[in-house]
A and B are shown apart, each in its own frame.
Chain A
Amino acid sequence: MTTTSASTASAGVFDDITSSESSLRRFLHGLPGVDQVGADARAAALGTRSIKTTAKAFAIDLAIRMVDLTTLEGQDTPGKVRALASKAMRPDPADPTCPAAAAVCVYPDMVATAKQTLGDSGVNVAAVATAFPSGRAALDIKLADTRDAVEAGADEIDMVIDRGAFLAGRYQQVYDEIVAVREACGSAHLKVIFETGELQTYDNVRRASWLAMMAGGHFIKTSTGKVQPAATLPVTMIMLEAVRDFREMTGQMVGVKPAGGIRASKDAIKYLVMVNEVAGADWLDPDWFRFGASTLLNDLLMQRTKMQTGRYSGPDYFTLD
């Protein structure tokens, strides 16, 4: 992620909007509606693009570079995290041309371990903070969680919004929390997780996107991976439309991260097509688009090998970490 961080995006542009609960509500509810059926149809149509040969090779390498290799389990141990970090740096030990993943994504207590392995490899450490995954804790605890992770060396913080507050219409509270966490991040980049499976409607996803962008999130992210459905093509499309429109309005780019449920190369390529055609080619970069995934990486590697050798590979030829 590039580090030319500026002050919060909302500086100036959104002051009127974010100054009160009522103005925030008026703005968010004044955003154009999303027709679910039309959005689903458009996402499905983009999914029919046929990406072959050179385009496929390009897409697979790009997708590998966009992976936030993730482990977020109660059973995570330093051993597990070290293995994952090694995998992120050298996804295919047999092939030095294979690019590294973007980051490893872990709980805050595993940040130091991950950082130790990754060193200055260029692979970032992302930490899920703010009482992940439910977000149900007092603000000071969320902020402490964030600071801990940053102090341990996290380059990126994946926070969750308070869905309860959002669904109850307390947008100001959600906004203020994001602003506060962003401040606690210091120089670390902030990804704001909506848990779109709980927000349910695309209208809500669009509102949450704008709320997070105005509050200064560097990335907007679909899901924790703990709630079904996690990332979907249409939800990601709504978010890509939001970052596209936000840039139209402010000139500033925000990244998008679908997370959870993306397991196959074929699916990852559909996302990249969508990035390309909805937000635009500028977002086809690990600085601006990530996949939160674990098993996806091996499938990308298998496809990569297939493209190089012309024969189908098998899981035994790739590391399980």
Chain B
Amino acid sequence: MVKVPDTATPFFEYAPAPESRSIVDIKPSYGLFVDGEFVDGHGRSFKTISPSTEEVLAEVAEADEADVDLAVKAARRAYTRVWSRMPGSERAKYLFRIARIIQERGRELAVLESIDNGKPIKESRDVDVPTVAAHFFYYAGWADKLDHAGLGADPRPHGVAGQVIPWNFPLLMLAWKVAPALAAGNTVVLKPAETTPLTALLFAEICQQADLPPGVVNIVTGAGATGQAIVAHPDVDKVAFTGSTEVGKAIARTVAGTRKKVTLELGGKAANIVFDDAPVDQAVEGIVNGIFFNQGHVCCAGSRLLVQENVADEVLERLKRRMSTLRMGDPLDKNTDIGAINSGEQLKRIRELSEVGDAEGAERWEVACDLPTKGFWFPPTIFTGVSQAHRIAREEIFGPVLSVLTFRTPHEAVEKANNTPYGLSAGVWSDKGSRILWMANHLRAGVVWANTFNKFDPTSPFGGYKESGYGREGGLPGLAAYLKGADA
């Protein structure tokens, strides 16, 4: 046994390993995808930029009410004349076809997603895109089995689904919305987020390649007003939204008094609860994955670490050591763990809330690293000494910022975890099976990850309690959300 060497060991410096950009072909400008064609919008256009470099990627049409109306009309026509009349087995084949093309063009989709969103290529390549394909495969198989969906014989689609998705998982959220809608026999008008429209537009191209009948999928790009036009359109039968709780509430008000069906996937402030008997190395991985996956731009992120007081110091020490190995930088570098913040606006919000954390007396610790001079960056950060009363323990930061709180007993952990208007997800780390099940029973959250975190699967329902929204996506409930019983 020898003492730790004094001399510096040669440093294993990973050379840049960039994924090639040449696989994607970004056009200078994009129109709207309506009725199977790319068309010019009536309104203005906006620029989408790469958040890691601030480079302008393309000009994208901003759909106005008239554009949305055309898209809804196209969707209605396709619904009435084609899609609702087509046997489920035929719809299924279109969806399988789309799933296959997504796999075939997987690398291209991953690179484009990372460029437009700023997320690391290893995530778009290993998580987003494979899960997108899996969603289409899963729901494709449902299209001709709707009698078994739990709604009795011959359930019916709602009609035209208006769908508005966020920028954190642009293509994956599209898949969560489009795949079950189409499988159930609905047609869709979908608006991608204004900062991340490109993969949705590439998806439109995939629909063309798949020969999907015109009007079954319509993609209208734009900002809040475009989304509002979709939600408020009188001929939209079903609204599906993923995004902020604030906008979710506005949507709920907009559809009040109509017959529109709504599902909302909104914000969260999940507790990731670590007990003193947790498998500690995996728990530390789970904490890191819980809050730093996708730069913390995850509605179900484990943004509140609740660690049992008697192991808090040890867990934090291990967490900091682990965080110091995170690699932040070029989203296209295959070794990047933490990419760019999606937009200047989001970066501003993260900074503001972090400053509130400082002002409220929490202690900030961040990974020491050089931030690139261009683009939007925020280092992985933890706040210790946080209490329930702090704003950073209550408000969704939607960035790589972890608030650390402690607890003493399981009851206290549950009480603190549930003490939030949100209820999307929660994590529990313990080696004691009965305690995990007790915690899972008592946590008021739609997804409870025990000894794991941030796992997603097309067969697994996802969605929240309370102000995290209503309805579920994924699995059988995710299909049922796009169907009504024959007698309804």
Question: Are A and B in direct contact (Cβ within 8 Å)?
Answer: yes
Across the interface, do B4 and A38 meet the contact criterion of CB distance under 8 Å? no
Q: A4-B2, A48-B122 are in contact. Are A55 and B15 (CB under 8 A)?
A: yes
Q: In the bound complex, what is the Cα–Cα distance between A117 and B347 (angstroms)? A: 64
Whether a CB of chain A sits under 8 angstroms from the CB of B59 is no
Across the interface, do B286 and A272 meet the contact criterion of CB distance under 8 Å? no
Contacts of A2 in B (CB 8 A): 2, 5
Closest Cβ of chain B to A191, distance in Å, is 13
Across the interface, do B15 and A254 meet the contact criterion of CB distance under 8 Å? no
Contacts of A59 in B (CB 8 A): 12
Whether a CB of chain A sits under 8 angstroms from the CB of B277 is yes
Closest Cβ of chain A to B109, distance in Å, is 18
Q: A277-B325, A284-B9 are in contact. Are A254 and B1 (CB under 8 A)?
A: yes
Closest Cβ of chain A to B290, distance in Å, is 12
Across the interface, do B10 and A58 meet the contact criterion of CB distance under 8 Å? yes
Across the interface, do B12 and A216 meet the contact criterion of CB distance under 8 Å? no
- Binary per-residue interface labels of chain B (307-335) against chain A in the complex, 1 for a CB within 8 Å, 0 otherwise: 00000000000000000010000000011
Residues 325-382 of B contacting A (Cβ, < 8 Å): 325, 334-335
Whether a CB of chain B sits under 8 angstroms from the CB of A34 is yes
Across the interface, do A32 and B17 meet the contact criterion of CB distance under 8 Å? no
Contacts of B277 in A (CB 8 A): 32-33
Contacts of B334 in A (CB 8 A): 48-50
- Binary per-residue interface labels of chain A (2-45) against chain B in the complex, 1 for a CB within 8 Å, 0 otherwise: 10111011000000000000000000000011110111011000
Q: In the bound complex, what is the Cα–Cα distance between A38 and B283 (angstroms)? A: 9
Contacts of A58 in B (CB 8 A): 10, 12-13
Residues 273-308 of B contacting A (Cβ, < 8 Å): 277-282, 285-286
Residues 83-108 of B contacting A (Cβ, < 8 Å): none
Whether a CB of chain A sits under 8 angstroms from the CB of B415 is no
Across the interface, do B12 and A281 meet the contact criterion of CB distance under 8 Å? yes
Q: In the bound complex, what is the Cα–Cα distance between A37 and B10 (angstroms)? A: 32
Contacts of B15 in A (CB 8 A): 51-56
- Binary per-residue interface labels of chain B (1-38) against chain A in the complex, 1 for a CB within 8 Å, 0 otherwise: 11111000111111111000000000000000000000
Closest Cβ of chain B to A253, distance in Å, is 6
Whether a CB of chain A sits under 8 angstroms from the CB of B126 is yes
Contacts of B278 in A (CB 8 A): 32-33
Contacts of B384 in A (CB 8 A): none
Whether a CB of chain A sits under 8 angstroms from the CB of B451 is yes
Across the interface, do A285 and B282 meet the contact criterion of CB distance under 8 Å? no
Residue among B14, B286, B431, B451 facing the most chain A CB atoms (10 A cut-off): B14
Contact partner of A51 (CB less than 8 A), chosen from B5, B17, B126, B280, is B17
Q: In the bound complex, what is the Cα–Cα distance between A218 and B279 (angstroms)? A: 26
Q: In the bound complex, what is the Cα–Cα distance between A252 and B5 (angstroms)? A: 10
Q: Which residue of A lies closest to B453 (CB)?
A: A38
Whether a CB of chain A sits under 8 angstroms from the CB of B452 is yes
Whether a CB of chain B sits under 8 angstroms from the CB of A247 is yes
Contact partner of B2 (CB less than 8 A), chosen from A6, A41, A48, A62, is A6
Whether a CB of chain B sits under 8 angstroms from the CB of A276 is yes
Q: A50-B334, A277-B325 are in contact. Are A32 and B2 (CB under 8 A)?
A: no
Across the interface, do B279 and A32 meet the contact criterion of CB distance under 8 Å? yes
Q: A48-B122, A281-B12 are in contact. Are A42 and B282 (CB under 8 A)?
A: yes
Contact partner of A8 (CB less than 8 A), chosen from B1, B3, B431, is B1
Q: In the bound complex, what is the Cα–Cα distance between A50 and B17 (angstroms)? A: 6
Contacts of A55 in B (CB 8 A): 12-15
Contacts of B335 in A (CB 8 A): 49-50
Residues 172-203 of B contacting A (Cβ, < 8 Å): none
Q: Which residue of B lies closest to A59 (CB)?
A: B12
Closest Cβ of chain A to B21, distance in Å, is 16
Q: A6-B2, A49-B335, A52-B17 are in contact. Are A281 and B11 (CB under 8 A)?
A: yes
For chain B, give the interface size range: 20 to 34
Closest Cβ of chain A to B122, distance in Å, is 6
Contacts of A282 in B (CB 8 A): 4-5, 9
Across the interface, do B325 and A38 meet the contact criterion of CB distance under 8 Å? no
Contact partner of B279 (CB less than 8 A), chosen from A35, A49, A272, is A35
Residues 221-252 of B contacting A (Cβ, < 8 Å): none
Contacts of B1 in A (CB 8 A): 5-6, 8-9, 216, 218, 252-254
Whether a CB of chain B sits under 8 angstroms from the CB of A74 is no
Contacts of B5 in A (CB 8 A): 2, 253, 282, 285, 287
For chain A, give the interface size range: 35 or more
Q: Which residue of A lies closest to B278 (CB)?
A: A32
Q: In the bound complex, what is the Cα–Cα distance between A81 and B122 (angstroms)? A: 45
Q: In the bound complex, what is the Cα–Cα distance between A58 and B11 (angstroms)? A: 9
Q: In the bound complex, what is the Cα–Cα distance between A69 and B10 (angstroms)? A: 23
Contacts of A4 in B (CB 8 A): 2-3
- Binary per-residue interface labels of chain A (260-273) against chain B in the complex, 1 for a CB within 8 Å, 0 otherwise: 00000000000011
Contacts of B285 in A (CB 8 A): 38, 41-42
Closest Cβ of chain B to A30, distance in Å, is 10
Across the interface, do A34 and B279 meet the contact criterion of CB distance under 8 Å? yes
Whether a CB of chain B sits under 8 angstroms from the CB of A241 is yes
Q: Which residue of B lies closest to A248 (CB)?
A: B317
Q: In the bound complex, what is the Cα–Cα distance between A210 and B122 (angstroms)? A: 34
Across the interface, do B4 and A284 meet the contact criterion of CB distance under 8 Å? no
Residue among B12, B13, B285, B431 facing the most chain A CB atoms (10 A cut-off): B12
Q: In the bound complex, what is the Cα–Cα distance between A53 and B335 (angstroms)? A: 14
Contacts of A96 in B (CB 8 A): none
Q: A38-B279, A38-B452, A55-B12 are in contact. Are A253 and B122 (CB under 8 A)?
A: no
Q: A38-B282, A38-B286, A247-B4 are in contact. Are A54 and B452 (CB under 8 A)?
A: no
Whether a CB of chain B sits under 8 angstroms from the CB of A251 is yes
Closest Cβ of chain A to B177, distance in Å, is 28
Contacts of A9 in B (CB 8 A): 1
Q: Which residue of A lies closest to B4 (CB)?
A: A253
Q: In the bound complex, what is the Cα–Cα distance between A284 and B5 (angstroms)? A: 12
Q: In the bound complex, what is the Cα–Cα distance between A8 and B1 (angstroms)? A: 7
Across the interface, do B3 and A252 meet the contact criterion of CB distance under 8 Å? yes
Across the interface, do A51 and B9 meet the contact criterion of CB distance under 8 Å? no
Contacts of B279 in A (CB 8 A): 32-35, 38
Q: Which residue of B lies closest to A269 (CB)?
A: B12
Across the interface, do A284 and B12 meet the contact criterion of CB distance under 8 Å? yes
Q: A42-B285, A285-B9 are in contact. Are A52 and B16 (CB under 8 A)?
A: yes
Contacts of B451 in A (CB 8 A): 35, 37-38
Contacts of A54 in B (CB 8 A): 13, 15
Q: In the bound complex, what is the Cα–Cα distance between A54 and B11 (angstroms)? A: 12
Q: In the bound complex, what is the Cα–Cα distance between A54 and B15 (angstroms)? A: 6
Q: In the bound complex, what is the Cα–Cα distance between A243 and B285 (angstroms)? A: 18
Contacts of A52 in B (CB 8 A): 14-17
Q: In the bound complex, what is the Cα–Cα distance between A142 and B339 (angstroms)? A: 55
- Sample 10 A-B pairs with CB under 8 A, ordered by A number: A8-B1, A33-B279, A42-B282, A49-B334, A49-B335, A50-B14, A50-B17, A62-B10, A252-B4, A253-B1
Interface residues of A (CB under 8 A from B): 2, 4-6, 8-9, 32-35, 37-39, 41-42, 48-56, 58-59, 62, 216, 218, 241, 247, 251-254, 272-273, 276-277, 281-282, 284-285, 287
Which 6 A-B pairs have CB atoms at the shortest separation, nearest pair first?
A38-B282, A50-B17, A50-B334, A35-B279, A32-B280, A35-B282
Q: Knowing that A39-B282, A277-B325 touch, tell me 19 more A-B residue pairs with CB under 8 angstroms.
A: A2-B5, A5-B1, A5-B2, A9-B1, A32-B281, A33-B277, A33-B278, A33-B431, A38-B279, A38-B282, A48-B334, A54-B13, A218-B1, A252-B3, A254-B1, A276-B12, A281-B12, A284-B9, A287-B2
